[in-house]
Amino acid sequence: MIKALSALTVAAFIAAAVTILPGFAPEVEAGVSTAPLAKSDRLDLRSDACTQQNWPNIDASCLRGAGSRGIVAPARIIRG
């Protein structure tokens, strides 16, 4: 009888703790992000002129990324 009464008392304390403790948690406010996030796992789209070219006859402007201003080094030509 004492085991059942002590188990009921422990269960009542646990139920009270689960009910009361969330009241002490800080308030959370939802907000809206000011800048939309961009997908970084997608390649930049190229113009149709670049997609119609075949290797090795590719224009130098098609070898650069959309925002890149770097110089494209010429490929080494081996004649044999």
For 3, list phi and psi in degrees, rounded to 5: -65, -40
Separation of alpha carbons 53 and 62, rounded Å: 9
- pTM of this structure: 0.33
Predicted local distance difference test score (pLDDT) of residue 43? 59
Predicted local distance difference test score (pLDDT) of residue 38? 65
Separation of alpha carbons 18 and 53, rounded Å: 66
Predicted local distance difference test score (pLDDT) of residue 22? 84
Q: Where are the domains of the chain?
A: 46-73
Question: Per-residue pLDDT tens for 5-62?
Answer: 999 999 999 999 989 988 888 888 887 766 666 666 665 565 667 778 887 788 777 7
Predicted local distance difference test score (pLDDT) of residue 24? 83
